Every structure is written in structure tokens, then in C-alpha cells.
Structure 1
Amino acid sequence: MSGGLYRSASAAPDGVPPAEDGVTLISVDTAVAGYEQAASPEAQPSNEGSTAGNSAVMAIGSLVSRIIGFVRNALIGMALGSGVGNAYTSAQFLPGQIYELLLGGILSSVLVPLLVRRRKADPDGGQEFTQKLLTFAAVSLGVATALVVVLAPVITWIQSSSDNPAAYNDLVTHFAYLILPIIFFTGLSALMGAVLNVRGHFAAPMWAPIANNIVVIATCGVFILFFAGDDLTVQSIGGGAVLLMGLGTLGGMVVQALTLMPALRKVGFSWKWRWDPRSLGLGEIGRLGGWMLCYVGANQLAVFMVVRILNSVAGDGSASTLAFNNVFLLTMMAHGIVGVSVMTALLPKMSAAAAEGRFSEVSADLSRGIRLVSAALAPIAVMYGVLAAPIAVMLFQGGKYTNHDALATGDVLVVAAFAVLPLSISYLCTYAFYSLQGNKTAALINLPVVAVRIAAYFALAAILDKSLSAAGMTAGNAISYVVSAAISLVVLRRQIGRLNLGSVAGSLLKVVAAAAIAAVLGLLVVRLMPGAGAPDGRGEAILQLLAGGAVILVVYLIAATTLRVREVSDVVSMVRRRLGR
């Protein structure tokens, strides 16, 4: 339910969270929690590690992938600048949107459970069925991708704004021709990753996106080497520059798909051509995936709207699609590190309790999860708000991405600071529905949430100056997260009874108070530093980050401990005990 745009493989949350649209997805860099036990022991390779070992591999891979992903995004901005970068980013959104409609929601909600069942039930461990499924999917994805590429001018015209100069819309279309084939390779990567996950292999799907990012990073390096001296504007960029960035981006996803093939052979899966769609039970797949398609479709409508609004300001130097996407990835990083870690730990317990009708335990786990996530994310949210400018300068400034562009991105990050907590709380509620097998309920709740999100987009776009459009769209997301959490909690209370919201509210008030104290003192320190909160370069940004970050973290811990925020006090006590030993 996050309302994000392009779901970067390098920045997607760990584990199996709902993706931007709130649907549990198997992305090319996520693994299926719990599926390592799905296959029969004798069918699994003997060299597979334990669940703990797999989790460690995924955690390390995700951390490395996030770091390299931010290097990639920073280099894209440095190479292209904000104007051309906006057009490139807009073209990148298109394959992500279309892929989600074609396969994203159905993959994890229908196909992965189906593969697990066939893996256990079929004498050949689901080998033949999986071959037929991949054959059908490859043909379907190929036909759909070819059709989408042919229709690229129509798709970009629909998503573009009439306020943009023709040169901007043409540039988006030229990038789209080269980038849209990613749909095919994204689908193949996701399907191969699912096959590997079902067979207990998690390393390759987690590390493959790193190869993708390295290819794009190398492309940016070559681009800077040959085109750094050029006057790169929407009107002046040459065909060679467009061709290099477009093909380099496509090449990254091709490499990602190719790196998974040796892993398939390692787990004993041989991909042979088997065309037999009738044996796949497509009718059942369609019926089961209906609610997920509804869910994904609603969210992609919101994505379409926000891209169109941001495109309307992309040509006048304002923070637009590139800045919005960079900030969204930072928001999802915080959620992935903290929120998903809590969810991954709680979901098995909640699911087991729900299956046995112990709804009071589901309620207790949910309220405990909200308190944990809030206490852990509060200092991160404060840092995003207070240190937004130095964070943006540190991560993104350089080359064609000027200090003005970085500071404008920082303004968007200030707003995103208020979205971090509601985002993770709304995800926790969605996980509670999944533990209750309430996918339909989650899909129905998402409809009014998306309606509120789209209404907020248009209202804020009408009220705010164009230079604040990206910040306004981020605020629209934050509003929708709050609405999502509120509706979900009301529905959950009706389904499972008392939610202990009194204790949750009391804990949240203490967390907010501790965060406010940390924010005030952190802001005071930053204002006294060189650059006074608006650093002119990385030197000033680093000083502000070190001083402001230290003050915010220490003050928050002291204030939260003093206010007896239990979750923080428990962590502090544990650290003290370990230091004492």
C-alpha cells in the first residue's frame, strides 16, 4: 500500500513484504519466507544450508544490493542531470507498471503456492509442470512485451502531460523503446527466482540484482567518460547518449536473468520447452489471481496519476520524477531494514495462532509489532527530517546533478520523514490480514486507500507551487498510509477482537515525545554547523551528518529511556548487560 513508483530491485524490502501496491510479491531479489521447508527433504539438495544460514545470505545480499543500488541511482543523476534524468526515470517506470499488471501480483499469491503444491505432490517434484509453466509464461511475456514496445508512443503520450515540451515527451518515448523490453527479462527473473526459492535456493535470486546494478553503474561510467562535457538537456541530448543509457539499462536486466540459469541447473531443474497450456489449469489461476489483479490494477492507476503530475513539472528544473524516486527508495530502505525484519519474525507466529483460532495472540503480536516498529523507526524518521539536505547532498550531488537539485531532493525527503512510520504500520496491518488469509479483505481496503491517495495527489498539485510537486506527491502517499492503517485497524478489531490500542497509543505518544526532543536538539546543532542545514558540498554534508546524527541518536535514546519506552529500554538494558560481561 505504499504508493511508490518504480520498484527498484536494489531497494526492495527484504523478505516478502507487500510491494508498492500492498500485494505480497516475489520480486527478483526477494525470497519466499518459509518455502525452504516446502519441498520434501529428500528432494532438496544436500548442500542447502539451514534456515538461519539462508536468512544470513539474504540479509547480506540485501544490504550489499541496497548500497550498490544507491550508487547506481546517484550515478544516474550525476550522468544525466535532473532534466534528462526525469525523462529516463519516467521511461523506467513503464516496465515496472506493466510487469506488475501482467505478473507481479499473481506470481506470489497464486503461482508460487501452486509450485509448492506440485513440488510436493508430483512424482517428479513438479519438474514437468514447472517446465510447462515457464514455457507458457515466456511466450506470454514475449508477446506482451512486443505489443507494449510497439505501443510505446501511445503509452508515453497517455502518461505525459500536455504542459511538457514536445522534446521531453519524445525523449521519454525514445528511452521507452529501449527500456520496455525489460518487462520480458523481469518476468523471467522473477519466475526463475520463484523456482529457486521453492527448491530451497535463496542466494542466487538475492545476489542477481547486484549484477544488474553493476552493469548499469558501468554504463553510467562509460556515459560520463564520453558525454560529461556535453550540454545534456532534453533538447540537446544526442541519439548516441540515449542509446547507451537505454541499452545499458536493458543489458543489466538481461544479465540478471542469465545469472540465475546456472543456479537452476545446480538445484537439478532443467528448463525444457513444453507447450501445454491446457494442463496448467489457467482458469483456476485466473480465478485465484482475480483479487490480486484488482489490487495491483488500483495501485498502478495511482502510479499513472503521480507520474503524469510529476511529468508536468519535469521540464522546468523542479524536483520531479527522479527526486521522487530517490526519496521513495530511501523511505523503503528504512522500512526494509526495520519494518520487514519485525514482520518476518511475527508473520509465522501470527499465522499459526490465526490457524488455531487464537486471535488474542494475533492481536498481541500485532500491537507488539507496531510498538517495536515505531520505537525503532522514530530516530530514522527524525534523521530524514532534520538531516534531509545533507543526506541528499551526500548521496546524490555530483556531475550533472547540481547542489540545487540535491537540496530540492532534500525538501522531498523532509516530507517523506512523516511517511516512514505510517508506511510500516500499514504494512503490519496488511500482514495481519495475510495471517488470517484475508487477501480479499486487504484488496477491498486498498480501493478506498487508493482513492484517497489519488485525491490527495490532485488536491496537493492544485494547491502547491510546481516546485513542490514531488513533495506534495510524497505527502499524498503519507496521507494514504495513515488512512490504510486506520481502516485496517478498524476491520481487524471486528475480525479478531480487542487490539490493545490503548497501550499502543500510550507507547506512540512517548515515542513521538522522545523523537520531538531529539529533532529540536538535532536541528539546533545542524543550524550551528557550516552550511547551516543547506550544505554546499559533501564536506559540509558529512560534518552535519556526523554531528546531527550523533546528537539525534543519543538524545532519542536518553529521552525514550527516561520516558520508559519499553522497547527502547529493553534494547538499552541488553546492550548494558553485554557490555558488563
Structure 2
Amino acid sequence: MLRASAIMAAGTMVSRLTGFLRTAVLAAAIGTFALGDAYNAAYQIPFILFDLLIGGVLSSVIVPMIVRAKKRDADGGQAFEQRLMTLAIVVLTLIAAVGVLLARPIMELYTASNWSSYKIDVASTLARFILPQIAFFGIGAMAGAILNTRDRFAAPMWAPVLNNLVVIGVAIAYLAVGSSDIEHVTHQDLTLLGVGTTAGIVVQSIVLVIALHRAGFRFRPRLGLRDTGLGETARTAVWTFAYVGITQFGFWVTTKLATGAGERAPGAGNSSYSYAFQLFQLPYGIIAVSVITAMLPRMSRYVADGEFDAARTEFGSGVRLVSSVIVPAGLLLMVLGPAVTTLIFSWGNMTAANALYIGNVLQVFGLALVPFSIFQLLLRVFYSFGDTKTPALIAGVNVAINASLSLIAYFTLPARYIVIGLAFAFTLTYVIGSGIAWLLASRRIRGLGGRSVASGLSRMYVAAIPAAVVALAVLWLTREITPITALSSAVILAAGGGFGLLLYLLAAHRMRVTEVSSIIGLVTSRVGR
């Protein structure tokens, strides 16, 4: 699992790092005030609609159906793949067209009720340029799914890097010629920003289609759906659609409240929340997603064979492997969050105060890193049984908790602290949600080896606390000498983060945290080669 995860993590790391460079350049170009909030709200709409329509069922339903069709059909599943691709192109193109026509009502739904008509017009204009991404998302995602069934992982792993590079170029151009003030932004500015963002997804999709063609796939439009198994796919996907719909409702509540907070306290709104959340997702995306991808097929085979002991061992190994990186990452984010965001975001039209605020939000998200990652691993226990209903029900509980706590934060906290309160609501939600999911998953698989997991986590925290203390000492010493700037932040991260991480690795190795020792062994063996 470690070797497989490392291979996937390499591509994911490059993709995420270029993604954060893209985020930093965009933030420098458009800031975190009203224009930044409008762009981030419009930018999320294609992702939301795509997830609601197809994204949530790709890995859990469509990929297994393609694999079965390859074994079942005389043509090796080629006609089935062509029907899926045809259906995705037709349906998502129609949805994209309808989305462009309804851009203003959609943006009114996701933006704050206290936004002016002019600001909604700006967000709607951006949405009209960005919503065509839905069709290209579908084509690219379906191509990636078919490539995965053919054991071709490189293109889906690296294509997002090209998307990021295109948008970085667009953001640099916008920084040179565009305005970050929503009151002075021109139609040409919005065209550059919106069309440039969509161009990145178009390039990403083209690369995946070329890779699919080189893998032997030949597209031929097929509209006949009878006796194809797509009806079975739709029935299997119902609870997955429910899960995605429930989580997107929670996202809508958070976006609505965050944009409202930004209107009341400029610079402390949806953009700050979005940028902090993207940084929070970096350790999870690189480590946890890679482990989950390697773990799920093995757990599914063990469950299918009735080998619950092996499945429990696999789950425990996955949790400890993820936690060996996530635990110190979470603690270091809690300490060094402002230094991270100051280094990344204090450029262009961003101020040091805006960057520091994003860092404060990131510090709160650091608390959520461990419970959020464990929650996602727990969901794979249910998926290994083919159970998509229980995750949807747990998601409903999570959204109810998160929405309630978020509303309390919105109506009780000072405007500048609302987004920080939303991040804290997210953290509490996943602490409670992971507890509920653990109880239900433990009943399903007859135990999850809780003692072993707790023992491993406690040793990781003991090893990580000195690292956090060292980072905190470096931060305090630096702030006594100079204010936090991009330069001082780089020093803090290099000294505090670097020495802290080294101290954690040494302490964990001495405490015989086997997962850390395995990672060290893997890295040293690769370096030796």
C-alpha cells in the first residue's frame, strides 16, 4: 500500500503544488474583497453541478460497471464505454447550456442576500464564462475513468498540472492589465478572467482525450441505452447522488454565510474561507487520498471473501499510515498557518493583513485535519460492502450539525470572526461525524481494532508535540525581531517547519512508530537508487 500510495502521491503533489501557485497568483490578481468573493463563488458552480450529476458516482459506480462490461461483453466493453461517453457529452453539454442561461439565478442562490445588483451582475458574468467547464469536466472525467480501468494512471494524474499552468498565465496577465476593484472592473477584465479559467479545463480535457486515444479507445457516438446495464448503474448510484446532494447543500450554506460575512467585513469572506480550505486539503489530498485509493480495492476483496480480520488489518494500517503524516501536519498548520499564508498570499493586490487572516482560518482548519481524514477512511469501510446508503445518512447528520453551528457563528460572532467560526463549525462537525461513523463501521465489520489505532495515534501525537513546540518557539523568536512578512515567513517555515519535521521523524523513529520508519525506508531506498 505504501509503494502504491507513493506513486500516486507524486503526481498528486505536483498537481496540488501548482494548484496552490495558481491560487496564490489569482489571489494576487483579484484579492479577497468583493471581486475575489464573486470569482470564487462563480468558480465553484461547475464543480458543484458536475459533482451532483456525475462526479460522485465515477469511482464508486461507473468504474466498477466498466470493469464488469469488459468481462461480460463480447467486444470487451467497447460499446458500453462509447455509450457512457456519448451520454456524458450530451447530458453535460445540455446542462452547461442551461447553466449559462440561468447564471444570474444560480449566483443569486449562492451569494449573500445583502449583495448589490451590480455585484451579482459581475458574478453572473463570470459564471457565464465559467459554466461551460461542466461539459469539459464530464469529457475529461469519463476519459480518466476509462483510462483507470486500463491501468493508465499517468495522464489523469498530470493533466491538472497543465490546467494550473494555463490559469497561472491568465492570472499573471490579469495582474498586469486587470482591476481588483469590483466597482472598476471592465467587461474585458471579466472576459479574460472567465474565459482563461475555462481554457485551463479545456486543455486538461484535450490531454486526457489524446491519452485515451493512444490507449486504444475509439469514440463512436452511441445513443441506444437498452440492455446496456445503465439502468443498473443508475439504481446503484441513487444513494451516491443523495450523498453528493446532501454535502453540496452544506457547501451552499457555508458559501452563503461566508459571502455575507465578506460583505459585512471586506477581506474576511468567502475568498478567505476558500483559500484556507484549499491549503488545509493539501496534506489530505497528497497522503490520505493516495492511501484511500490503494486501500479500497484490497478491503473490498477481503470483505467479498468474508475475511473480516484481514479487512480490519487493512483499515488499521491505512489509518496509521495516513495519521503518521497528518498528525504532525495538523499541529504544524495550527502553529505556522499565518506564516504559510503570508508567504503565499501577501503579493499583488493582497495585503499582509488579508494573508494573516487566511492564516488564522487555516489554523482552525488544522484542528480538523485528523478527524476529517479518519472520517473519509471510515466511509471506505461502508463502500467495501457496497453500502452507499449509510454514508449518505451520516452526511445528513454532518450537514445538520455543520449548518446549525455555522448559523450560530454567523448570528453571534463579530463580522470579522464569522469565517473563523465557520472553520470551527467544520472541525466540530467532523469530530462528531467521525465518532458516529466509527461506531457504525465497527458494528458492520465486527470491530475496527480501536486499541491498536488509538495506541498508534497517541505515540504519533507524543512525537509531534515537541515539533510543534519548536515551530512555535521559532515563530515567537522571529516575531520578537521583525513583523511577519513574506521573507520572515520563509525563514519561519524553513527553520520552524524544517526542524520541527526533522524532530518529529527522529522522535517517531525512536518510539518505533512503524509507519514513519517505513516511510523513511522507502524514501532512503529511492534516494539510494
The answer to whether the superposition gives a TM-score over 0.5 is yes
Task: Check the 8 A contact 2:45/2:131 in 1, yes or no.
Answer: yes
In 1, distance between residues paired with 2:516 and 2:58? Answer: 38
Alignment partner for residue 133 of structure 1, among 84, 87, 103?
A: 84
Report the CA distance shift for 1:58/1:381 in structure 2 as closer, same or farther (over 3 A). Answer: closer
- Higher percent of residues as helix: 2
- Secondary structure at 1:197 match in 2: helix
2:221 match: secondary structure: coil
Match of 1:245 in 2: 193
Give 1:402's aligned amino acid. Answer: T
Equivalent position of 1:433 in the other structure: 382
Separation in structure 2 between the aligned mates of residue 263 and residue 574 of structure 1, nearest angstrom: 30
Supply the AA of the counterpart residue of 2:258: L
Alignment-derived partner of residue 295 in structure 1: 243
Answer yes or no: is 1:391 the counterpart of 2:391.
no
Once the two structures are superposed, residues 498-547 of structure 1 have per-residue CA deviations (whole angstroms, 9 ceiling, x without a partner) of 333233333333333333333233212211115669512x2111111112
**Contact conserved, 1:353 with 1:362, CA < 8 A, in 2?**
yes
In the alignment, is the contact (CA less than 8 A) between 1:164 and 1:314 conserved in 2? Answer: no
- Within 5 Å, which residues of 2 pair with 1:234-383? 234-315=182-263, 316-383=265-332
Distance 2:142 2:424 in 1: 34
Q: Relative to structure 1, is the Cα distance of residues 116 and 361 closer, same or farther in structure 2, using a 3 angstrom cutoff? A: closer
Residue 148 of structure 2 corresponds to: 197
Q: Residue 92 of structure 1 aligns with which residue? A: 43
With normalisation by structure 1, the TM-score equals 0.84
Tell me whether 1:61 sits opposite 2:6 in the alignment.
Answer: no
In the alignment, is residue 214 of structure 1 matched against residue 162 of structure 2? no
Provide the secondary structure at the position in 1 that maps to 2:184: coil
Check the 8 A contact 2:327/2:460 in 1, yes or no: yes
> Following the alignment from structure 1 to structure 2, what is the Cα–Cα distance between the partners of residues 139 and 550?
50
Q: Give, in whole Å, the separation in 2 of the partners of 1:376 and 1:317.
A: 35
Per the TM alignment, residue 165 of structure 1 is displaced from its structure 2 partner at its CA by 3.1
Question: 1:362 offset after TM fit, Å?
Answer: 2.1
5+ residue gaps in structure 1? 1-50
TM-score (norm 2): 0.92
* Matched-pair contact (CA < 8 Å) for 1:131–1:273: yes
Instruction: Map 1:391-540 to 2 at 5 A.
Output: 391-530=340-479, 535-536=484-485, 538-540=486-488
Per the TM alignment, residue 211 of structure 1 is displaced from its structure 2 partner at its CA by: 1.8
Q: 1:517 to 1:207 in 2, by over 3 A?
A: closer
Farther off after superposition, 302-311 or 462-471:
462-471
Q: Give CA-to-partner distance per residue, 1:345-390, whole Å, 9 cap, x none.
A: 4334422322222222322332333233223222211221111111
Could you tell which deviates more after superposition, 459-468 or 152-161?
459-468
Q: Residue 261 of structure 2: SS of its match in structure 1?
A: coil
Root-mean-square deviation (CA, aligned residues, Å) is: 2.8
Cα drift, residue 426 of structure 1: 0.8
Alpha-carbon distance between aligned partners in 1 of 2:6 and 2:330, rounded to the nearest angstrom? 26
- Supply the distance in 1 between the matched residues of 2:4 and 2:508 (Cα, whole angstroms): 34
Q: After superposition, give the CA deviation of every residue in 1:47-84 in whole Å (9 maximum; x if it has no partner).
A: xxxx9999777444322212211111111001111121
Measure the CA separation in 2 of the matches of 1:579 and 1:253: 35
Offset at residue 274 of structure 1 (A): 2.3
1:163 corresponds to 2:163: no
Report the Cα offset of residue 158 of structure 1.
1.5
For residue 367 of structure 2, give the secondary structure of its aligned residue in structure 1: coil
The answer on whether the counterparts of 2:6 and 2:290 sit within 8 Å (CA) in structure 1 is: no
* Contact 1:407–1:534 under 8 Å retained in 2: no
> Alpha-carbon deviation of 1:577?
11
Q: How far does residue 185 in structure 1 lie from its aligned partner after superposition? A: 0.9
The residue correspondences of 1:71-150 to structure 2 (distance < 5 A) are 71-83=21-33, 84-150=35-101
**Contact (CA 8 Å) 1:318, 1:466: kept in 2 or not?**
no
Q: Does 1:179 align with 2:127?
A: no
List alignment gaps of at least 5 residues for structure 2: none
* Percent of aligned positions that are identical: 36
Between 564-573 and 369-378, report the one with greater CA deviation: 564-573
